[in-house]
Chains A and B, each alone.
Chain A
């Protein structure tokens, strides 16, 4: 067992003498006896490093990861390729181990990296102001709702059914706390259909591309919101923003999204980062940390956390959010990744995904018993309708080493015969062909099995 402690017995005696007490127990004398645990914690004894390693490896071996199967699972997090330089840089002690940069003079590395990250997000979203990151995608949507409420004091959100189910649920949980009603806008033919808006609507909330992978026409929706005096919040998948008209050019006020696909691992769902960008007029409402450029007493360029009066440690109960942290290390991975992709590379990556997705759609649409759910533009994800029970088809594909996608019925009862298929740059043509073949075989076998039964 280790506790990473240095203090030897002799040193402990010295320190106790300096304090003026006889034993370590004396330091806890103010804890009433009846509150003391009085026994050891009911936990196993500590192990050596190699034993802990072996246990963690054994646990890892009982997980089927993207290393072990060809996966087409997406729905918010993607099996993207993380280049080696990201791991190398973020494992440096100077980035991995420091605290939040509250002493800017010795935190210029982290602060400048935040500034560079904020710039990249601003470029992606087409909005001038980005913060230094928030926890992840769905809670960013809920935080954006809080901003809208603080901004216009109205009582309702209209949320598209195309927004990620986890984001809609998180918004519902938090909105109940800060006292807002939510109403759903349905999807028609795969795209959001807004109901008429009145002055009780604080914000409309969209996703681009939406959960079914469909590219929405954001500008007219945002225009309708603006006309009603409501804000437009849009949750975006960052890679497609290489090609799609950015939210800032569509009249969106707040652009948020899940950043995992930018240089971060799947990690069974976290940690990752959420990005959060707003229009200039919302600068003082944006939650979370922001790095700003300034100069020092000798005129040198430097960076500091700025506009801290928005935050909890100063404004306390009137803060724009209770958030105390960002996801600094994950956002750093994000900006390194975006720098590695570069201006041309991001576009090439997105175009590659676009082409492979088009190919996948074509191949799957040609499979007997598989049809495209909607005929709308997509970028890297799309839904298909299966002519056989989805969960059984998935099980059969798995036996072939393929995870064909996410069963939409888990969140959309009306789509319980549908599968959501994601294409990342790691899915080659050969992988897609295997998917098509596996689906074909699985659907056929399932249909046969049901026909025999009937």
Chain B
């Protein structure tokens, strides 16, 4: 181990490069962090730049330690803690700024650059999209360029002399990087427990529903899951993706049932139209899995509850992208044999709350002779004068469904589903809320159905004797478009991009969008979602089923060796010293033959003609042949040069030369 001499002061341009790289790498963090972090970071980096530029004094130890403590306290007060993703990254950002302020020696420069690599990694905690990946690659490039600059001791490199070697290093590192990425054995889970807020992309359905929380979710364009159907895609209006089932009701909020007894796919009284498909679920930090209404199988490791809710075990929520095969029956009958007493939870409601809704339900029941009539009345009612809107007026009162049905009359799926289910219960029909997603969007390029948070939906299931649980979607009564064409069809375009696409007459933008989404899908599947399962699948597809870490390690070594050898050879071919001149080779051989025959060896300073003169005087017998060879050599090397034939002739004559 050798230490580098500490240079008295660092090259200004190199320092500026490092500061710029730091700003670039931290910029995505600064956008999402509290504004004081950005102000603090930019101020400190600016200060350091000023110190380098104007050769100012560094701040004293007192100043830096005061700033350090102040930053730590500010972080604590912002997040009320120091650990966790947001707080941890904030701390790392402010501390790396302070590290820059103390950076005086080459070694501290190196540490700052390594800190920069950590900052690159922390960006991936928040996002792993293609644009961020490309941006971070650019940041790494600048960091490497900075390292190159700092190692050009004694001269300051130009932009090209910085970025070209750095780019060459990165490009030459790519093959080995890909080999490692594909072959490095992936672990099944985290090495230690993670703080709960570690992962991003955890927007999704919650385990409760009250008026307002799904319409907030629907503004998110984030992907919930992707589906690849085997065979034809079922019609759009049957795509109900079943999620959490909410049975408990307190007057405003619907929540999960406490009854966690298991269900069984064998319990279906009717099970027809099986549809096979593969779901790639984005991490949402909750336990449930989504399947088309209703699931016909249970993925390995998951459980099915009696209300047909698919779940992962409680201790392993979906923190990584999860891929599972599914089969669903689109035509089914379930729970017909249930005893009415066991449905008590689905009839319970608080008499004191939403009295007008309860009264309405009871009125429907009184005026009807059977359940079919009750349902008809209910649908007629909801069809009358309700508006489907994403921005419903807030419902603050103790009786939100009364307020919705009789005052505001504007709502979203959870308003309709909630009030409908309550009215059904009041009418004596067991009812419960099912949340999940409805529909999705098909990408024509890869025929994949993409379901977004914007497709979140809530509907009602009611229980009828001899028929069991039936799906009823009151939102369909209000806005049939919602069911047949998705949210965009019902509400018009949401956000900027869809409205541009809506104005795109020939579909160029839509084509670009589809290509981009298909690319993102591949990226998510093969890069971001490259997990242990994916790795196994890839190798079994390639014909190596059941590959283990030993085999992977072996191939890793092989590819390291092959790639390393290829790069070494590539570098050496470019760098081989020019081959010796053939004439020189022949001449040296000639001299060696004479030396072997006893002529005193040619001195380094002795020219060929001088040497010839000495040979002529000491060995007159050789004068003619030696003279011929020498003159040919002098002509080839110092005269007009020699053609290939002449060189071959010279070589031949030297070979045939006999000094004895």
A in complex with B: no
A residues within 8 Å of B by Cβ? Answer: none
